[in-house]
Structure 1
Amino acid sequence: MREAEEVERLGFPEPPRRSPPGGVPPELDQPGLVGMQFQPELREPLAEIGKEPLRVLLILEASGEVSSRAGSHRRATHRCLAVSGTKAHAEALKEEISGVLATMGLRLSPEKTLITRIDEGVDFLGWRIQRHRKRGTGKHYVYVYPAKKALAVVMAKVKTICRKNTNQPLAVLLHQLNRMLRGWTAYFKYGCSNATFSYLRSYLWKEVVRWQERKHRRTPWKALRRRYGIWPADGDVGLFDPARVSAKRYYYRGTRIPTPWPSAA
């Protein structure tokens, strides 16, 4: 505090704001954006969440030209997920956000702005968000798990890598697969991903075994198994096993989540 008061007393110019790694750039840190996050008018629709089950999801994508301090223009795209109690609340929230974004030169994308029921589910940032009935019970919960499109993309990458040149050692192939699989599973481990990881493990093993058979066309399977093992490995380099990644669920924290609005109690 003393240092800040001393700087203000001496009249030094305010240093330029810089965006932190992964943070919001200065040209996007506008009062309108903060007002959209903490606007009191949005409290009433969101307050209905605690009174009735979640029914509607609002997917938004805003894009537009943003002017920086240097005078240059660049295109900015932002995606967000808004939850509301009813469809009417979601429509009102959409109009409210559209008005705030218009003051910043941004607009909602009609193709990617979606209002849907939570029971029907929606794909968002590679995840599938949908409410299902828990097996063996009559209770319904919102589950988050990898979307089919995200799984198809990583399977296509595995297939492309395994269909490349077979003149390289197996260790080179395993290094390429391991780097990709570690990043993919690290992103999707925070959800209900155990079944997806097991399915990916089976597909991965088949593709690598087929690569071995193409590389050693005249070598029988028993010889390949003795050389590389049941789970493929080449020396100290082993194939990454997605099924060994333990999925971690986000648990409901309720009132422990910080809120900008005062408590009603």
Structure 2
Amino acid sequence: MSSGTGLIDRFYQTGRRLRRMPLLRHATWFWTAAHLPIFAFLRLGQWPVRQKLARGLVWRIPGFFLRRDWENYEREAVGALIDWCRLPTARPKILLDVGSSVGPYSAVALFADHELETYAFEPDFESLRFAPQFCLYAPGSRLRCVHGFIADVQGDGETLAVAVQRTEAAMASAGRHPKLPLTCYRVLNGAGAEAIPKRSLDQLTDNGAGLDGRPVVLKIDVEGWELEVLRGAAELLRRVRPPVLLSVHPDVLPKLGHTTAEVGDYLRALGYQWKVVGVDHEEHWWCAPA
């Protein structure tokens, strides 16, 4: 880290320590006034800011992304992923990050295991374009991006490698990023969805795609379309038997004609058992082969 970025990081850490001091912790008027200029300064560039997450994991992300409280972001689910990443294995692990948004879970995995590779799947192209920046300071070049929906569809035989190549070519030829890394949720029945590529995990990994024999974890956060992804990954789940970190949306599922029980029944039929590791605006299930 250069001396300039080191100063930025110390500036951020000093601010965090001051914020937690007993005399200043409840000085809301002061922090409200100080918040805008401090964070406006931190967001000016790509310099890394160090943060401590669940399980004591430390990551570094560009100050540009300090628009939410990442240190407390879905801590139980993040902790479950970190625990899996830290398990000793003979071969490098793989994360399939379905519904990656700008890439926080991919970044967690890359910092937790410096040999792990991650594939980020995201239908919102602008959000996906931020993932390489979010993961910029993770060691090595181990992030692969795939634009499109992951669903229960019959594909054209496109492999995972080809999907990555097409996405990276599109990202390379795109113009400048939008000014803010805003999260935009794209859903299968939403406006403009017909123009977004649709693939199943079974299609993409039909020939193995380098997954067989390697430890794989599947993370799914698709705003109520959980069954759509799982049904399109049935063969992968039977063949590779990866644990699944699944975000379940009890309030959204009924609007799509499904229930939480239906998700559980489908997992049970595939020989999986699960436990709820956290609840916030959604339920986070850790699902493992029985």
The answer, yes or no, to whether TM exceeds 0.5 is no
Greater gyration radius: 1
With the length of structure 2 as denominator, give the TM-score of the two structures: 0.27
